[in-house]
A and B are shown apart, each in its own frame.
Chain A
Amino acid sequence: MNPLHSLNRIYALMMRYLYLLRGSWPRLLELTYWPTVQMILWGLINQFLAGQSAWVAQAAGILIGAVLLWDVLYRAQLGVSVVFFEEMYSRNLGQLFVSPLRPLELAAALLTVSLLRTTIGVGAAAILAIVLYHYSIFAMGLPLLAFFANLLVMGWSIGLMVVALVLRYGLGAEGLAWAVIFALAPFSGVYYPLSVLPEWLRAIALALPSSHVFEGMRAVAREHVFLLDSFWTAAALNVVYLATGLALYLVAFHTARQRGLLLQMGE
Chain B
Amino acid sequence: MPSVKSAIEVRNLSKRYGQVAAVDNISFEVPKGGSCALLGGNGAGKTTTLAMLLGLLSPTSGAIRVLGVDMVRNRYAALPRMNFTSPYVDLPHRLTVEQNLDVYARLYGIRHRARQLQRLAETFDLKLLWRRHYGSLSAGQRTRVALAKALLNDPEVLLMDEPTASLDPASADTIRSWLEEYQQRTGATMLLASHNMQEVERLCDQVVMLKQGRIVGRDTPATLARKYGRETLEQAFIHIARQSMD
Contact = CB atoms under 8 A, between A and B. Distances in A.
Interface residues of A, number: 33
Interface stretch (A7-15, A147-155, A196-204): A7-15
Nearest to B80: A100
Interface string A201-238: 00000000000000000000000000000000000000
A172 interface: no
A256 to B, nearest CB: 9
B79 interface: yes
B82 A9 contact: no
A95 B91 contact: yes
Interface stretch (B28-36, B106-114, B117-125, B177-185): B106-114
B57 to A, nearest CB: 5
A171 to B, nearest CB: 15
Contacts, number: 102
B82 to A, nearest CB: 7
B103 A16 contact: yes
Interface in A93-139: 94-102
Interface stretch (B93-101, B191-199, B212-220): B93-101
A239 to B, nearest CB: 28
B102 A92 contact: no
A23 B83 contact: no
Interface stretch (B1-9, B46-54, B221-229, B235-243): B46-54
B57 A257 contact: yes
B132 to A, nearest CB: 11
Given A8-B106, A11-B106, A260 B57 contact: yes
Contact of A1 (B48, B76, B89, B93): B76
Contacts of B76: 1, 100, 102
B104 A91 contact: no
Given A20-B95, A263-B51, A94 B103 contact: no
B102 A8 contact: no
A99 B104 CA distance: 8
Given A90-B93, A95-B149, A100-B76, A5 B109 contact: yes
Interface residues of B, number: 36
Interface in A56-106: 86-87, 90-92, 94-102
B91 A98 contact: no
B90 interface: yes
A52 B75 CA distance: 65
Nearest to B60: A258
A92 B90 contact: yes
B90 A260 contact: no
A86 B103 CA distance: 15
Nearest to B98: A19
A158 interface: no
Interface in A243-267: 257-260, 262-263
B92 A20 contact: yes
A9 B89 contact: no
9 nearest A-B pairs in the assembled complex, by CB-CB distance: A12-B106, A94-B89, A91-B90, A90-B92, A16-B103, A99-B107, A19-B99, A98-B84, A100-B79
22 contacts: A1-B76, A9-B107, A12-B103, A15-B102, A15-B103, A16-B103, A20-B92, A23-B95, A90-B90, A90-B93, A95-B84, A95-B90, A95-B91, A97-B55, A98-B82, A99-B79, A100-B109, A101-B107, A257-B58, A260-B17, A260-B51, A263-B88
Given A257-B55, A260-B56, A262-B56, 5 more contacts: A8-B109, A15-B103, A23-B133, A94-B56, A100-B80
